[in-house]
Chains A and B, each alone.
Chain A
Amino acid sequence: MSAIALTGLTKRFGSVVAVDDLNLDVHNGELVALLGPSGCGKTTTLRLIAGFELPDAGEIDFDDRRVTELQPERRNIGMVFQNYALFPHMTVAENVAFGLEMRKEATPTIRSRVTTTLAKVQLTGLEGRYPRQLSGGQQQRAALARALVVAPDVLLLDEPLANLDAKLREEMRFYVRSLQQEVGITTIYVTHDQAEAMVIADRIAVMFNGKIHQLAAPQEIYNRPHTWMVAEFIGLTNFIEGNIVGREGRLFVIDTAIGTLRCEGATTVTDAKPERLIAVRPEAIQLSQRAGGGPRSSDPTMNRLQGVVRARAFLGNLVDYRVEVASGVVLRVQGDPHAPLAVDDAVEAAFQPRSTWSVPAREERVR
């Protein structure tokens, strides 16, 4: 087990910069998910760590072992591919034994380690099967066994669940996580599925255009996005444009087209430019009939907007509303399915400053 350090890693394909001066530290035994849309450079980053590509600049270290230029077979990695890449002409046992054979282990050692590892992934009894005779989930576990049996320093997973059906994928998330915890191996997990990253990762690195926009725990990524791209990529977000006009303690006072709003925001990057984008999650907004005005109205910092329900969709565990709070400005609100609100009802949309977050506006070049 080793910590992974990427320093100034850069990879170009022709004129395209796939990985752009990327820095990342993964602690020993930690699982970091590289999350981003396709083409953001997450898979290239993984292939650089695996040694399938060589970087144009930067360094890769496993603990104090510099592997930047090393051949893949000398890095002591375990890798699971999106399509598993099991060797079709070898049985499950032969697949799992392959890495140990390459390390010239003695035959009895190989046999016992293959048996133990297959037991760990619950494939005992399927040793003699060929990959094509396994279900998707079994192939997945065979691929994990093959990667883990060699006791690699780091485990690299490239969209390992993408080819499974939805239900199995959800189960496997927890399975992969518990297996990783059990083995305690430093892991980098590439995915474009935010829910998967949330469930599985200690920290998530959200990538766009070859850069990491934010590296943080899932909760922080969701509630305190650093850039509008992160906010937009993770979950549903209402964006409201505005300008900072003042401060009230930790809160920004922001002037917007639909009124003056108070919200939290990252202070470190902000003060230079007043243009902000307020991000409000649909579930952070509470709707009430306008006439009422309950006990919450006593809180003066609460953001209140008057609007009309334009659409309502029942989703089972919640209801999805579109509320027009100003001409042409529609907020998405998700809330209680039992609330007696109908289309064309006049409502008050209220949200706490601490459940909002402002990020630098789109125009600004995000670092």
Chain B
Amino acid sequence: MVGAGTRGAGTLTRRGRPWFLIVPALAVVVVFFVLPYANLVAMSFLTPGKAEPYVSVPTLGNYTSALGDAFQWWILWRTLKLGFLTTLFTLLLGYPLAYNLARASSRTKGMLLVLLLSPLLVGVVIRSFGWMVLLADNGLINSVVKHWGLAPLGLKLMYNEFGVLVGTVHIYLPFMVLSLSGALQNIPPDLELAARSLGASSTMAFWRIVFPLSLPGIFAGCLLVFVLAVSSYVIPVLLGGFKVITTPLLVVQTAVDVHNWPSAAAQAVILFAASLACIGLYFRLMNRAMRGLSA
């Protein structure tokens, strides 16, 4: 088995050289992703200039000032909190949706998928603006609430963390649902029935069978949504109205308004490191939970 596989691969490589096929993709990634990132990391160790963005004098000052700044720690905490809450709520809202999507008949499934994905056809800006119409102080929800006398002063729904969270949860929900339904679809319905036949209630069958088997989908979906939410820019800008500053906003402000590129680079690298640490921790937790699920 192993011998045959190795020989087959060897023959294919000698004859077809399939690794050539990844060269274009590799070139794109290197030129547009690896090099700029390397440049960014390098820049974060340079001294800010007066007239030009930076001067080529190495320093750790960008990091020491960023890490010594309580405000920046608080912004970072808020950013990660936003990522965490967005992930949590998309998971809670998305799971039932994904479950029904996975169990729907093929015709209904197609329709549900279109419904699920159609918001993606409208840009983030426009969808955020849609939420502004609903959530603003004189927006739809507040008009109704005031009209019915439920809250005479109106509700503060926007330009705060709540508004931003509503936006991120809505915009990133499809990514969670797609990850989850992919995993749920791979669970044969017979497994649930088998559990029922063995005396498990439907709730028990879900928690003992379906949920553990969907962990890989939960894992992928949470990772995706967390990374997207932590790095989102447009949604906090529009629904937070620069009152809810997150690290990506701070990075842009530092780079564009303050014109301090090295500090902005350092802040970006710190966010990257913090996200990576969260993801690493998450990997370890999920690996423990998923023990036995993979070969």
Contact = CB atoms under 8 A, between A and B. Distances in A.
Interface of A: 50-52, 71-73, 75-79, 81, 83, 85-91, 98-99, 102-103, 130, 132, 146-147, 150, 156
Nearest to B212: A89
B194 A81 contact: yes
B109 interface: no
A147 B195 CA distance: 10
B193 A73 contact: no
Contacts of B194: 79, 81, 85-87, 146
B188 A85 contact: yes
B190 interface: yes
Contact of B200 (A90, A102, A156): A102
Contacts of B295: 130, 132
Nearest to A98: B198
Interface in B271-295: 292-293, 295
25 contacts: A50-B193, A50-B197, A72-B197, A73-B197, A73-B198, A73-B200, A75-B197, A76-B199, A79-B197, A83-B188, A83-B190, A85-B193, A86-B194, A87-B194, A87-B209, A89-B293, A90-B292, A98-B200, A99-B198, A102-B204, A130-B292, A146-B198, A147-B197, A147-B198, A150-B199
A88 B141 CA distance: 48
B78 interface: no
Q: Across chains A and B, which 6 residue pairs bring their CB atoms closest together, nearest first?
A: A99-B198, A102-B199, A85-B194, A85-B190, A72-B196, A79-B197
Interface in B76-103: none
Given A102-B204, A132-B295, A150-B199, A87 B193 contact: no
Nearest to A152: B197
A147 B198 CA distance: 7
Contacts of A52: 193, 196
B156 interface: no
Contacts of B104: none
Nearest to B201: A73
B190 A99 contact: no
Contacts of B191: 85, 87-88
B130 to A, nearest CB: 39
B41 interface: no
Given A102-B199, A156-B197, 17 more contacts: A50-B197, A51-B196, A73-B198, A73-B201, A78-B197, A79-B197, A87-B191, A87-B194, A88-B293, A89-B212, A89-B213, A91-B292, A98-B208, A102-B195, A102-B198, A102-B204, A130-B295
